[in-house]
Structure 1
Amino acid sequence: MKIGIETESFHLFFQYKKMNILDFIKKAAEIGFEGVELNMIPGWGIDDDLGQMGPDTKENLDAIRDEIKKYGLYAEIDTNGTDEISLKKAIRVAHHIGANVIRTYIRFDKFDSEVYKQTTEDLKNIVSELKKYRIKIALENHEYEISDELISIVEEVNSHWVGLHYDFGNAMMAWEEPVEAAKKMAKYTYTTHFKDHIIVKDDESDYGYVVCGVPAGTGNINLDECFKIMVENSPLERINMEMCFPYCTNFKREPGAGGVNKVGEGTFKIEEAPYDRSIIKPLQYYYPHKAVDDKTLEKMMQDQLDGAQKGYLYLKSLRDKYCR
């Protein structure tokens, strides 16, 4: 089992132009990771056409491909949406740099299960393109979706080229226990985001609490059990870490949607916020420029780097424990 890292693990570095994609690939190799999962979704501070990957040019993609080969890493791609234009673009980019798995997710502004019908048709329609380039699509449980809903889509598509992406933490935003999601999703899973979460009180949030990312091994998700389930029941040959820290987000479904009805126990135990609330509030973590001074921002970036390094050691320890 090889272990890799997703670019979002350094999202602050990308947002504030302290790192580009080639820097990231080098840093991943220096830490010890054996692969990279590259996010091509534009966002605040990341306005190139390929997001954290930079400009959509042959020269840039050649450089990315060559840097990955230089360090002997595997590569995967992260995108979003299931429409033909989005997926064909991701397939083109993946093929160019030598990636054979693409993570995508359903775009929601507000949850609507009717979207699943179109998602299913979109994925059926892209199968021939996936076969042509020998690339798999992995549909993620991306905060809104519970495992049973995604499994229904994959089973209806019924293609070797379309499976699931298991995010170790995102089930919580849909009130689903990550261990239970792992049990259901494992046999369909082609790639992952390995991460850890806690629950934090927040009066400005939809339900009075938010899900908060923390470095792997410091939160309340039973990562040991989830990892073991994936090793024993999935076709995975790689585990990718996406350390969402510093990061907090709202619950996206109503309590009980995924089987959990309230916070307070086990995985959903309430913890203290990672940062002093008088300095920065939880829902400001992802875009801290709106709230903090340069000194605090520098500390958050150092925390992110330290967390990625600690996360690697924790993930490696699980690999050493369960994989021979």
Structure 2
Amino acid sequence: MDRRGFLQKTAIGAIALSFPSLPNFLKETPMGVVVHSYGSRWNSKADSKQYPGFANAIDLINHCQQIGAGGVQAVVGGWTTDFAKKVRDAREKAGLYLEGSIGIPKNAGDVARFEQEVRNAKEAGAQVLRTVCSAGRRYETYHSAEAFQELKKNAMTSLQLAEPVLRKHKVKLAVENHKDWRATELAAMLKQINSEWIGATLDFGNSISLLEDPMEVVQTLVPYVFSTHAKDMAVEEYPDGFLLSEVPLGQGILDLPKIIALCKQHNPAVTFNLEMITRDPLEIPCLKTDYWATFQDVSGKELARTLRMVRQHKPATPLPRVSQLNAEERLAAEEQNILSCLAYSKDKLTLK
């Protein structure tokens, strides 16, 4: 057993001995909300009385408390120490948990910025910080094997720079499978880092875009899970591959009860953070040559399995689109989707 596995098992054992009823308590923690679920409302300039824009994390916390969420995952970049204290006060008053979303240090000169953001997040009450290592979706941003290898090299450097800061402040960093790493690649990086302070933000559906079976992704990354982006996904064929959409929980193709049970099994303290992004479907152009520039080890079998899954789960109606809606209609659709997901999480997933 490596150092990570030993620490994980002993920590969970200590928690269980100290708090025998802890798993039941955590089972009743309501689902939280990722700031990206409010892509239209965040810093919105729309003149809407019913859906006023959120200017900062405090607005998000107050709203999420009103709609019955259990917590929030919010971007901590740009916070002052004074604002972090105000976030802490708002969070404590609302009775919500807080996770941060943070950028890892790009180089040694960026470590001071990273450490200040870690300090601010901890001051506000966050013990887990979600991050990404890439500049965008793998198949859109990286156009050669060499470019992707450079990303891997830079990501490892960044995580190695971040680790002493996290260890010093006793805050965990959770790297997301952000349509960049295939599950085995991310797991290999985390194993190489081998730190109790660096694990995974397990996104339930992103890796479908990389031709991965969603349950295999969960099984590969769940030993490292610190946090989640909970979502359901729907798929639809299009000429160059398939379309991929977040849809309200229970309306897609993912086995949410099984995924949540596995996450709790490996980390009883894990949070479930809703990332319901209300947008047009994403195009996954897996039948175009350019898509394959960084996928030297992905087999035709995996492509065939994914396309078969898409055809087997053809939606009864076309995937939802919002680009044709006006600003108020988009805000309304976004809020309704989030409320629908929270209701499902309480009624069907016992996160209440």
TM-score normalised by structure 1 residue count: 0.80
Are the aligned partners of 2:263 and 2:270 in contact in 1 as well (CA < 8 Å)? no
Give distance in 2, aligned partners of 1:201 and 1:82: 39
Structure 1 residues 180 and 248, CA gap change in structure 2 (3 angstroms):
same
Identity within the alignment, %: 22
Q: Aligned to 2:151, which of 109, 115, 118?
A: 115
Give distance in 1, aligned partners of 2:39 and 2:257: 25
1:299 maps to which residue?
329
Are the aligned partners of 2:37 and 2:276 in contact in 1 as well (CA < 8 Å)? yes
2:314 maps to which residue?
270
Are the aligned partners of 2:73 and 2:273 in contact in 1 as well (CA < 8 Å)? yes
1:260 maps to which residue?
302
* Unpaired segments ≥5 residues, structure 2: 1-25, 46-52, 136-140, 286-290
2:62 maps to which residue?
26
- The RMSD of aligned alpha carbons is 2.7
Structure 1 residues 117 and 227, CA gap change in structure 2 (3 angstroms):
same
SS across alignment from 2:39: helix
Structure 1 residues 257 and 236, CA gap change in structure 2 (3 angstroms):
farther
SS across alignment from 1:14: coil
Are the aligned partners of 1:199 and 1:270 in contact in 2 as well (CA < 8 Å)? yes
Are the aligned partners of 1:8 and 1:39 in contact in 2 as well (CA < 8 Å)? no
1:149 maps to which residue?
185
Q: Aligned to 2:345, which of 307, 315, 324?
A: 315
How much has 1:92 moved relative to structure 2?
Answer: 3.1
SS across alignment from 2:175: strand
Residues 90-239 of structure 1: pairs in structure 2 closer than 5 A: 90-108=117-135, 109-110=141-142, 112-202=148-238, 207-239=240-272
Q: Aligned to 1:61, which of 60, 74, 84?
A: 84
Give distance in 1, aligned partners of 2:236 and 2:310: 12
Structure 1 residues 170 and 185, CA gap change in structure 2 (3 angstroms):
same
Structure 1 residues 316 and 247, CA gap change in structure 2 (3 angstroms):
farther
Deviation readout 1:189-242 (Å, 9 max, x if unpaired): 100000111123455xxx342211111211112222211221223354321111
Structure 1 residues 127 and 58, CA gap change in structure 2 (3 angstroms):
closer
1:240 maps to which residue?
273
How many pairs align?
Answer: 291
Structure 1 residues 38 and 127, CA gap change in structure 2 (3 angstroms):
same
Are the aligned partners of 1:136 and 1:163 in contact in 2 as well (CA < 8 Å)? yes
Range with greater deviation from structure 2 (156-165 or 124-133): 124-133
Are the aligned partners of 2:232 and 2:246 in contact in 1 as well (CA < 8 Å)? yes
SS across alignment from 2:149: coil
Give distance in 2, aligned partners of 1:89 and 1:11: 26
* Unpaired segments ≥5 residues, structure 1: 41-49, 276-281
Are the aligned partners of 1:190 and 1:235 in contact in 2 as well (CA < 8 Å)? no
Indicate the structure with greater helix content. 2
SS across alignment from 2:155: helix
SS across alignment from 2:66: helix
Are the aligned partners of 2:98 and 2:125 in contact in 1 as well (CA < 8 Å)? yes
**Structure 2: which amino acid aligns with 1:12?**
S
Give distance in 2, aligned partners of 1:236 and 1:301: 32
How much has 1:313 moved relative to structure 2?
Answer: 1.9
TM-score normalised by structure 2 residue count: 0.74
Q: Which has more radius of gyration?
A: 2
Give distance in 1, aligned partners of 2:104 and 2:303: 29
Are the aligned partners of 2:246 and 2:277 in contact in 1 as well (CA < 8 Å)? yes
How much has 1:90 moved relative to structure 2?
Answer: 3.5
Give distance in 1, aligned partners of 2:131 and 2:307: 31
SS across alignment from 2:185: helix
Give distance in 1, aligned partners of 2:310 and 2:200: 23
Range with greater deviation from structure 2 (112-121 or 80-89): 80-89
SS across alignment from 1:23: helix
Structure 1 residues 190 and 219, CA gap change in structure 2 (3 angstroms):
same
Are the aligned partners of 1:165 and 1:191 in contact in 2 as well (CA < 8 Å)? yes
Give distance in 2, aligned partners of 1:247 and 1:160: 38
2:101 maps to which residue?
78
